[in-house]
Structure 1
Amino acid sequence: MEQNILEVQKISKSFKDHVVLKDLSFTVRGGETFGLLGPNGAGKTTTMRMIMNILQPDEGEILFNGIKRQRLKGVHFGYLPEERGLYPRAKVLDVLVYFGTLNNLTMRKAEVEAIRYLDRLGIVEYTDAHINELSKGIQQKIQFIAAFLHDPDVLILDEPFTGLDPINQTVLYEILEEFRRKNKILILSTHLMDQAEKLCDHICLINQAQVVIDGSIESIRKRFREDAYFIEADAPIPILSEMEGIQIIEEGKNSYKFILENNTLKLSEIMKRIEQKARILRFEVFEPSLHDIFIRLIQEQAEVLK
């Protein structure tokens, strides 16, 4: 299978005297879901617009399969912007067919694909409805269909879950997973860290115009692991707080989150001593959430820049 590769190489962008991005680099491969994360104003939307060739970087290059972005046709790319833009007085099917034909689909192919996805998203009955007659959630689904109707190689979604209920979010997840399995590139920007954690293989966090961290979800969580553990038993286990080298950082009813303060105390010994007092119901290594890591990194960078 041919390997699709999108390379962002040291791109910088300023608007007048305001630096939006500085030396941003990352690589995304086919079959990978890439999360572009950061607080408001971090430069995420500017980055996506440069990948779409709507804006040009002041410095650096964007390549797809080794070809400069400016030399590629837009048909390779699909984009769902955060600011939605549908023709309010047009009919749903007419809008989708129009977007499809703009991206080299025949009118018949665009119509067939549009109806197929309208049906899958449970809104085929609105085919002849005018856009301005529909709820924001339904308009969101229509805009989503318009972004990938032409089956692009790179799909960029800016806050795609806004206005969608949990059922429709699940359908969207399924469609995106099918897209990814076809060796396509999926770039996702969202403020919802739990969704990024669920969907993304690889993330890049940007703040203050610069990359804060870039890597796989697994490697980033491993890097920020605190050597923390969670244990739950069928009775209180005060012996845990009596052991030298253990710091309890959270305590619930018969449950404890703790860290090892030195390397001399072995987990096997801890477990053995606990089992003499109570039956262990649950034990796991505590992994920090992407949300926790996000907050920590932004706060650390703020301290450095003071």
Structure 2
Amino acid sequence: MTATLVIAEHEHGSLKAATLNTVTAAAQLGGAVHVLVAGQQAQAAADAAARIPGVARVILADGPAHADALAEPLAEQVLALAGDYTHLVFPATARGKNAAPRVAARLDVAQISDISRVLGPDTFERPIYAGNALATVQCADAKLVLTVRATGFDAAPAEGGSAPVETVTAVQASARSRFIGRELTKSDRPELTAAKIIVSGGRALGSSEKFDQVLTPLADKLGAALGASRAAVDAGYAPNDWQVGQTGKIVAPSLYIACGISGAIQHLAGMKDSKVIVAINKDPEAPIFSVADYGLEADLFEAVPGLSAAL
């Protein structure tokens, strides 16, 4: 019988948005859906997971080894539980991509990465060639290790379920790795991958000062996150954690406003699943217009402040 273990991603007692998308994907595999919450003082996150409709059971592994979300102890925790499951499912986030290959290697099975659609319990669709083609992949392994592209699935409801929470013994800390430190970027804005509205800028803005001067007022009015193309990041106009694209962050907000972004394939791969795309560019041949729901052929230095003023 099919049984799926979803490895939850959480922080400060709250589930990360990608966990809800991953639960939706897991539910489409058939069979029971269980959620593993590994952390330290993570009871609140486990309780939140228990409230997700469709989750049959929550497993809480609470211990010091999981305090810093290192991949090694998480992989060991998953392996300790793997015998009961046919599918081990991770969000395709930095943490999920760090732990899933370790689990697959130890189980001596193939990992199926970045699935965007479930066609059956052993058959999946995943993007290739920067999202320009979709591959259908079937795997005959007894256990399947999957990472889920969150933008491919709707988020499961956060309330309405009442799954039991079972506590298991947390693994011991790994002697091969230890936590040294973490550099955090603090912002009052929504996290880029979880934001409902994103305002992104490209190299056409010309400087970091223009980025702040032109885009920040619009983002403030909309309560939006700020993003950037790789060209803008490489030029030093925006920080690296704002980068949207194949080598940056994959996003699918309700509204994506692209200002001065030409629409290179690399960038389109990271945002073309957005519900509504608005493009502002003075080049009528810019590829971004091919995926935009609304296009404005105009100088962004006039159009964006005008839009901000109108709001």
**Higher-helix-fraction structure:** 1
TM-score computed with the length of structure 2 as normaliser: 0.22
TM-score computed with the length of structure 1 as normaliser: 0.23
